[in-house]
Structure 1
Amino acid sequence: MTHFKYVIIGAGLSGLTSAYYLNKLGESNYLVLESRDRIGGRIFTKNGIDLGATWFQNHHEMVVNFLNELQLESFDQYSKGKSILLYDPNRPVHYFESDPNAQAAKRIKGNSVSLIRRLSQSSMDKIKLYTIVQEIIDKGDHLKIVTNKETFTASKVILTIPPKLVSQLQFTPDLNISTKKILASTPTWMEHSIKVGITYEKAFWRNKNFSGTLIGQSGAVTELYDHCDPTTGIISLMGFVSENLREQNVDQRKKIILDYIANQLGTEVYNYLNYEENDWSKDPNTSNSLLTKFSRTHNYGHPVMQESIFNDKLIFSGTETSQLNAGYMDGAIYSGIRSAAHWNKPYFSNANSK
């Protein structure tokens, strides 16, 4: 068995943030375990479409500062022209225009995956994909991590997977009942979402003075937005699909979605280049058949998730654990920094005082 000072479980935004800060400490004795075939977690970009985390706001200071440090640029969400509000299909469509002076949501140039690529540059050789953690065992002076491939030992473990999935891991000794109950009842950000993205040769909606924004809680697409990216040159629409369509087969759902959007923006909708969708409830690394039964009332940032366990050898991380902007990229970054700082407080205190 190979021993590491730190093992980070999960190569999403929070896990990669912890790895990034360990590198800044000059720490190289760490390993990142990732069950997926890719890094990024719930930041997932496919053919230029952000099918996971997409937006941030100016008050998300962790994201803003991180982008500056990593020399990544952002841009305002496009909102010029008529937007569509359709809450009741039996009532007329309501058109509105966004206040040009209002603070716009922001996106990362080159898609959200640009943040993951830049963040992981210093740790790619320390990431093991297709590696599923099955059990974590307290051995006294270290932890033993059993996976589907190998077994590792670590002095410290940062566990970044969603709390509900953490509650289903095997621990020896087991977590106490109250902790497991809190973890199990914490909704996973994105677990209910179905996202869709459609690419085109031209932004036909802009030529018709539409912003691309469509809001309608009773329709096939509950939210739709212009998703063009000036960096990649990819022209697209992207939004959230009604959960009522989850049990439709792919072809049926696609037809319903395209018909719905075409009714509002025009038949040009059918002349697409690529059609992408992602149902996060079907992703076993995000959700499972049990997760959707829980209430969406959340325990984000619960005090239990701030506590270390196994005599300060393991801490919880991830956006759901954050006490700042939980459920957003900002919360994921905050939790990642907090985790790296947990055993390195003198360094972080000195860095913050400079």
Structure 2
Amino acid sequence: MKKEKVILIGAGLCGLYTAYLLQKKGIEVLLLEANTRIGGRIKTITGTTGVTMEMGATWFGNQHRHLLEVLNILELPYFRQHTQGISLFETMSFVPPQKFEISDSEEPSFRIKGGTAKLIEKLISEIGMQHIKTQTKITAIKEDNNQLIVIDAAGNSYSADKVISTIPPNLLVNSVVFEPNLPDAFIQLAKKTHTWMGESIKFSVEYTTPFWRQNHYSGTLFSQASIIQEMYDHSTADNSGFALKGFLNGGTAVLSLEERKEKVIAQLTTFFGLEANDYVAYYENVWREEPLTFQPYEQLVLAHQNNGHSLFKNPLQNGKLYVSGAETATQNPGYMDGAIFAAKTIAAQF
């Protein structure tokens, strides 16, 4: 019996875990990734002090059972997010922030020890790098008899019995030409499907000491008035590296990196004192400027819009093309748990 060959588009968490599951079933897989790096919206960077900082997917909780199951199978340890100390909530720029404490009885959130990229690295080692091809941007998918021909930007073609796309649906229909055309109802749905992380600007500030902890602050901050909208302590599990990390106001994408950095340090100095100005480095990731992740919408698309839509369940191109990814998950869409659930859902059909 001929071994079925499946091509996966996108080597993010969903693509990698789908490949892992299909290989367990004895199916031959090839992952094609447009970027130079593997991981998609999981992007861990390491500072000069050795602290790991997440520019993409970070937290998960006890409700994310699919992800927790995978971490257990792959023997990847995780730890509880630090929340002890005084947290701040700023409602207006001319009023001092309110102080509050997060109770230990609150539902915890977790981070993977050594960074979220540990999950990506583990899956790569399980799948084998020989089954993954980076810098391979797909531009066309054509039906040819009982196969699909996948063509990249360099003109290379790859044939497969089945193709699974795990990139955001809006990006898929705007960057890949299909022959024959996809159904119009699907195209319109994909264009109106929210891409997770797309509007996010993530930032991190690296420090040599956790001065906020020493001053009895948790590092947790919420603001409706300043550039930092949400922030948390981002020190390593073993407390050998220290950082503060969170989300900036999405509207500040129009500013330069230097302008955003200046506003971030000013806000931190106002709230935590002059020690905040003694930082090692500032990092950020404006996800709307990542063309291999985010495609601007043609019209207003709201957060969560059409994520997990039932139409994503149906294979296209005579049952040979599957559309997956975190946005298509019917459970926790957009989250790492959703990416895992989407992978399990697709793999179960093979």
Relative to the length of structure 2, the TM-score reads: 0.94
1:22 and 2:22 are equivalent in the alignment: yes
Instruction: Identify the match of residue 250 of structure 1 among 245, 249, 257.
Output: 257
Residue 232 of structure 1: how far off its partner (Å): 7.7
What are the residue-to-residue correspondences of 1:178-193 with 2, within 5 Å? 178-193=185-200
CA contact (8 A) 2:170 2:295 kept: no
Measured at CA, do residues 86 and 10 of structure 1 come closer, stay the same or move farther in structure 2, by a change above 3 Å?
same
1:167 and 2:177 are equivalent in the alignment: no
Q: 2: distance between equivalents of 1:42 and 1:274?
A: 22
For residues 232-291 of structure 1, give each alpha carbon's deviation from its aligned partner in whole angstroms, at most 9, with x where no partner exists: 832111000112321111111110111011111121112111211000000001113446
What does residue 288 of structure 1 align with?
A: 295
1:306 and 2:313 are equivalent in the alignment: yes
What does residue 347 of structure 1 align with?
A: none
More divergent stretch after superposition (241-250 vs 208-217) = 241-250
1:108 and 2:112 are equivalent in the alignment: yes
What does residue 336 of structure 2 align with?
A: 329
1:340 and 2:334 are equivalent in the alignment: no
What does residue 224 of structure 2 align with?
A: 217
Letter in 1 for 2:267: Y
Letter in 2 for 1:166: L
Unmatched 5+ residue regions in structure 1? 344-354
1:239 and 2:243 are equivalent in the alignment: no
For residues 95-116 of structure 1, give each alpha carbon's deviation from its aligned partner in whole angstroms, at most 9, with x where no partner exists: 0000111111111111100111
What are the residue-to-residue correspondences of 1:34-183 with 2, within 5 Å? 34-47=33-46, 48-123=52-127, 124-149=129-154, 150-168=156-174, 169-183=176-190
**Secondary structure of 1:22's match?**
helix
Instruction: Identify the match of residue 262 of structure 1 among 251, 256, 269.
Output: 269
What does residue 280 of structure 2 align with?
A: 273
CA contact (8 A) 1:187 1:291 kept: no
Q: 2: distance between equivalents of 1:330 and 1:230?
A: 21
CA contact (8 A) 1:4 1:31 kept: no
Letter in 2 for 1:172: E
Letter in 1 for 2:312: M
CA contact (8 A) 2:191 2:297 kept: no
Q: 2: distance between equivalents of 1:174 and 1:232?
A: 53
Q: 2: distance between equivalents of 1:95 and 1:218?
A: 16
Q: 2: distance between equivalents of 1:101 and 1:239?
A: 23
What does residue 6 of structure 1 align with?
A: 6
Letter in 2 for 1:329: M
CA contact (8 A) 2:5 2:29 kept: yes
CA contact (8 A) 1:162 1:320 kept: yes
Letter in 1 for 2:35: R
Identity of aligned residues (%): 35
What does residue 207 of structure 1 align with?
A: 214
Letter in 1 for 2:66: M
Q: 1: distance between equivalents of 2:74 and 2:14?
A: 15
For residues 276-329 of structure 1, give each alpha carbon's deviation from its aligned partner in whole angstroms, at most 9, with x where no partner exists: 100000000111344684333500111111110112111111010000110110
For residues 50-98 of structure 1, give each alpha carbon's deviation from its aligned partner in whole angstroms, at most 9, with x where no partner exists: 0000000101001111100000111111000000000211323100000
Q: 2: distance between equivalents of 1:244 and 1:301?
A: 27
For residues 122-174 of structure 1, give each alpha carbon's deviation from its aligned partner in whole angstroms, at most 9, with x where no partner exists: 22211111100001111130001010131101001111010101121211111
Q: 1: distance between equivalents of 2:125 and 2:162?
A: 23
Q: 1: distance between equivalents of 2:325 and 2:301?
A: 19
Letter in 2 for 1:39: I
CA contact (8 A) 2:87 2:218 kept: yes
Q: 1: distance between equivalents of 2:290 and 2:119?
A: 22
Unmatched 5+ residue regions in structure 2? 47-51
Residue 177 of structure 1: how far off its partner (Å): 1.1
Relative to the length of structure 1, the TM-score reads: 0.93
Letter in 1 for 2:118: S
Letter in 1 for 2:310: P
For residues 14-42 of structure 1, give each alpha carbon's deviation from its aligned partner in whole angstroms, at most 9, with x where no partner exists: 00001111222233x21100001111000
- The number of equivalent residue pairs is 340
CA contact (8 A) 1:4 1:153 kept: no
Q: 2: distance between equivalents of 1:44 and 1:340?
A: 25
